[in-house]
Amino acid sequence: MESLLKKVDLLYPEMVGWRRYLHQHPELSFQEKETADFVARHLLEWGIEVETGVGGNGVIGRLKGSLDGPTVALRADMDALPIQDEKDCEFASKVKGVMHACGHDAHTSTLLGVAKLMAEHRDQLRGSIVFLFQHAEEITPGGAFSMIEDGALEGVDYVYGIHLWTPLPAGTAYCKPGPMMAAADEFEIVVKGKGGHGGLPHETIDSIAIASHLVVNLQTIVSRTVDPTQPCVVTVGSFHSGTSFNVIAERAHLNGTVRTFDPELRLEVKQRFETIVEQTCRMYGADFTIDYKLGYPPVVNDAGEAERFYRAAAKVGAFETSPLIMAGEDFAYYLHHRKGCFMFVGAGNPELGIVHPHHHPKFDIDESSMAAAAKLFISMIEDCQNEWNADKC
């Protein structure tokens, strides 16, 4: 397996080429048909059994080794975001208003690299590898749930995923046992008041004023009703209302997200949220609607698989225990069904100007992080094989 890790460096330029092609041709969630075709063509070329249209636009590659052993699933996401690419580089997105602003192009290319190398060395492989190329991670209900329903985890013993993460420096890897990423819920509130002339406010029910109170009042959920030792975020991300300077708007629309780790707290926050919206709107005589969606559950890593990460990561570079991360991930669904863990590989590099956060118009990665991620995947597979072989002896 050590020789296989060295071959990652030889394959690295090809991985960069795949990543830059995909970066130029991004596709939004639930629209990843060309990306899925790109993946499937390469897997078939390498003699890997391919299944397409899994749960939507998902692609699965199955590789059976020559020796008995465990079945390990590796996952990469393929979808892009509705953001205009503002980078000044030769591989900037060619699709107006769409870009890979979260690294999914690099995730896909990393897993393609692992698939190619493992296919070339299937005679050394104990057990099987299932390559999960998932659609629609960015938008709930996501692609993981539907792929699982379509049989993506049948026969799988372990499942692993990696996210390249620019807030962390290139050359590092992170994981932790137990909860690591937050549950990601969404809400939309529509405040329905009574519109009218801007100079005659007494004849109206001002939806903007009421919605403004809501923005402030909702912050008391975290500041005054949640145990301060419990991680929790309530964010109003958008506020839209009005059409003219002298018109009091009849409606105001608020959208946002709630992030928690504890399942009980998650439901308590939802209940408190709905109470605040109802009481605030009723106090000022407005009607309202709430659409509160429970999104992805928290990512909870198996303790034993997190320990495997520490062993595997030590063979390929620097590693640390991850902090709690308030971003959400539908990889959580895989971990509800199989042992596994989700890992972060640092992809930031200020010396190369790789400093912009995920979902930013100038987002980019240190592409060397793809090689590091591929090595980590391979090292995780090796550790699974060694453990299985030791148990059989």
Residues classed as catalytic: 79, 137
Apex CA 141: angle with CA 294 and CA 260, to 5°?
35
Cα(330)–Cα(77) distance, integer angstroms:
10
Select from 313, 337, 369 the least CA-distant residue to 176.
313
Angle between helices 33-45 and 2-24 (to 10 degrees): 150
Three-class SS string for the chain? CHHHHHHHHHHHHHHHHHHHHHHHCCCECCCCHHHHHHHHHHHHHCCCEEEEEECCCEEEEEEECCEEEEEEEEEEECCEECCCCCCCCCCCCCCCCCECCCCHHHHHHHHHHHHHHHHHCHHHCEEEEEEEEECCCCCCCCCHHHHHHCCCCCCCCEEEEEEEEEEEECCEEEECCEEEECEEEEEEEEEECECEECCCHHHCECHHHHHHHHHHHHCHHHHHHCCCCCCEEEEEEEEEECCCCCEECCEEEEEEEEEECCHHHHHHHHHHHHHHHHHHHHHCCCEEEEEEEEEECCEEECHHHHHHHHHHHHCCCEEEECCCECCCCCCHHHHHHCEEEEEEEEEEEHHHCECCCCCCCCCCCCCHHHHHHHHHHHHHHHHHHHHHHHHHC
Mode of pairing for the β-strands spanning 158-169 and 251-260: unpaired
Spacing of C-alpha 173 from chain mean position: 17
Which of 365, 316, 325 is closest to 175 using CA atoms? 325
Give me the amino acid identity at 108.
Answer: T
d(CA 336, CA 261): 15
